[in-house]
């Protein structure tokens, strides 16, 4: 066994990684929440999608300037190490391994199972069948990435193409249909009353900050682009291809989401979407394409979710390896090993599967049933994302301080805008989730980060 990852992914795979991880469940999973948060106000909902996308593009561009200069084992950890320092890089890596990536991976496994249940006419999205299916999907993706990474890469490209089908069809045909039948105009000019929404959603209560709550919800739909940097060392000509993938992929995602949401506004009126809940997307597709067409497109939605899950697994499988390659973390001699047959860090992948399963259990106990965790109950699909934006801040600040060979825009303008975006996301999290939930999460975050101190030896490997 060696300790070097081979260059196996080209530009198209890198672009597919960005698009494939970001586009998937979020636009379907969070569409109803965004509309509910805005009280059925479609204009505010579109604004939330636009602002969330703009924040992603600004941050992705700023990281693209770093990707064009640095190329090592794991993009985000590399940038933190070079620009801030090795200790901060270690904590970025530890956070990604223990909280951020496995949290999103676990939620995506459940979302994939949820839409599979809906596809076959089921409504129990929190019961044993759904959770067992989520576990199966997660294990299957880990096995594919561990045993055949090339196949996993091809699956990523294929699902990226497939997942664009329902989004683009709804964007085009839904918009045309909505303009023709007047639903689009009605959705953009009429805001349902609180009483009308409560008639279809009995537990609905208006939120204090509709735009900010919707914006934080879009963060989950837009998140994942940074994970593409985890295969930095496996991308051919990474200094050229990764920046292109980050920027181009991000722009494609934002345009696709907004066009899809406008198409959705032409497929069903706002109250129907609010009443549909987890089946809202299926109702909209069936209205435009008929029952058979709607069911077929829901198959594409499930494949879309699985493609996103695969991309996340591809990244989390390499998490512990990224630390071990620096002689950091628990048992670096074990997690730095690369299987000579598959070219994959198999021990790191097994650990990634374990920690993702732990977070899936937490997500179920905190968000899908009567809470098991009291004060420590929080939405693990959103708050870890906001924490990551906070952890970007030292990177952006030090980029301004240290990168003297960057041009004015890349050294000052882009990172300054990225700092403003990151601070805004942190503020939006408090406004959306409330101080109590955020503080409960921060306690869990702090405990996990303190545990990481015991595995930080600070030694660097010598070649």
Cα 277 to Cα 29: distance, rounded to the nearest angstrom: 9
- In this prediction, residue 1 carries a pLDDT of 44
In whole numbers, what is the pLDDT of the chain averaged over residues?
83
- In this prediction, residue 228 carries a pLDDT of 66
Boundaries of every domain in the chain? 11-74+103-356
Cα-based distances in Å from 413 to 98, 164, 165, 424? 32, 33, 36, 17
Give the model confidence (pLDDT) of 284-343 as tens digits: 888 888 888 778 877 888 887 887 788 788 778 878 887 888 788 898 888 888 877 767
Largest CA distance in the chain: 68
Could you tell me if 338 and 5 are in contact, meaning their C-beta atoms sit under 8 angstroms apart? yes
Going 279 to 281 to 284 to 286, the CA torsion angle's sign is: negative
Cα 443 to Cα 25: distance, rounded to the nearest angstrom: 28
Upper half-sphere CA count for residue 327 (Cβ side, 13 Å): 7
With cut-offs at 50, 70 and 90, classify the pLDDT of residue 459.
very low
Q: What are phi and psi of 338, to 5 degrees?
A: -110, 125
Cα-based distances in Å from 317 to 97, 147, 232, 362, 395? 9, 12, 14, 20, 24
Q: Which residues contact 331 (CB under 8 A, 6 or more apart)?
A: 324
Could you tell me if 222 and 58 are in contact, meaning their C-beta atoms sit under 8 angstroms apart? no
Give the model confidence (pLDDT) of 400-420 as tens digits: 998 888 889 999 999 999 999
Strand partners, 2: 338
Between these two residues, 431 and 358, which has the higher pLDDT value? 358
Cα 51 to Cα 37: distance, rounded to the nearest angstrom: 15
pLDDT at residue 97 greater than cutoff 50 = yes
pLDDT at residue 399 greater than cutoff 80 = yes
- In this prediction, residue 307 carries a pLDDT of 79
Cα 286 to Cα 295: distance, rounded to the nearest angstrom: 7
Mean of pLDDT values over 219-233: 69
- In this prediction, residue 460 carries a pLDDT of 44
Q: What topology is assigned to 11-74+103-356 in CATH?
A: Amino acid/polyamine transporter I (1.20.1740)
Give the model confidence (pLDDT) of 33-81 as tens digits: 888 889 989 999 999 999 999 998 898 888 888 877 776 645 677 888 8
């Amino acid at each position: 066994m060696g300790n070097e990852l081979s260059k196996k992914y080209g530009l198209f795979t890198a672009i597919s990684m960005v698009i494939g991880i970001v586009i998937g469940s979020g636009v379907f999973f969070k569409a109803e929440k965004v509309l509910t948060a805005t009280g059925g106000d479609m204009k505010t909902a579109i604004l939330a999608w636009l602002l969330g996308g703009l924040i992603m593009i600004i941050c992705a561009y700023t990281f693209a300037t770093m990707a064009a200069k640095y190329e090592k084992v794991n993009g985000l950890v590399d940038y933190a190490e070079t620009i801030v320092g090795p200790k901060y890089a270690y904590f970025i890596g530890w956070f990604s391994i223990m909280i951020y990536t496995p949290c999103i991976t676990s939620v995506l496994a459940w979302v994939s199972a949820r839409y599979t249940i809906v596809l076959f006419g089921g409504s129990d999205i929190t019961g044993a069948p759904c959770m067992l299916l989520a576990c199966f999907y997660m294990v299957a993706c880990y096995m594919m990435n561990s045993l055949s990474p090339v196949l996993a890469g091809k699956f990523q490209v294929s699902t990226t193409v497939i997942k664009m089908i329902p989004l683009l069809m709804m964007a085009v045909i839904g918009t045309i249909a909505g303009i023709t039948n007047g639903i689009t105009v009605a959705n953009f000019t009429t805001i349902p009353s609180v009483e009308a929404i409560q008639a279809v959603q009995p537990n609905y209560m208006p939120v204090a900050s509709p735009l900010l709550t919707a914006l934080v919800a879009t963060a989950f739909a837009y998140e994942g682009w940074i994970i593409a940097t985890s295969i930095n060392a496996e991308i051919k000509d990474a200094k050229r291809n990764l920046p292109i993938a980050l920027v181009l992929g991000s722009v494609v995602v934002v345009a696709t989401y907004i066009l899809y949401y406008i198409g959705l506004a032409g497929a069903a009126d706002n109250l129907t979407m609010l009443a549909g809940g987890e089946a809202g997307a299926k109702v909209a597709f069936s209205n435009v394409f008929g029952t058979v067409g709607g069911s077929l497109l829901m198959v594409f939605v499930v494949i879309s979710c699985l493609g996103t899950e695969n991309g996340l697994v591809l990244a989390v499988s390499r998490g512990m390896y990224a630390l071990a390659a620096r002689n950091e973390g628990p048992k670096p001699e074990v997690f730095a090993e690369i299987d000579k047959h598959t070219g994959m860090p198999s021990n790191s992948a097994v650990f990634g599967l374990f920690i993702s399963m732990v977070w899936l259990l937490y997500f179920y106990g905190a968000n899908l049933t009567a809470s098991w965790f009291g004060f420590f109950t929080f939405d693990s699909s959103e708050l870890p994302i906001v924490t990551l934006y906070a952890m970007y801040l030292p990177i952006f600040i030090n980029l301004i301080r240290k990168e003297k060979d960057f041009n004015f825009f890349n050294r000052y303008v882009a990172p300054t805008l990225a700092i403003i975006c990151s601070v805004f996301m942190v503020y939006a999290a408090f406004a959306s989730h409330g101080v109590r939930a955020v503080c409960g999460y921060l306690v869990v975050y702090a405990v996990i980060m303190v545990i990481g101190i015991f595995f930080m030896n600070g030694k660097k490997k010598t070649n």
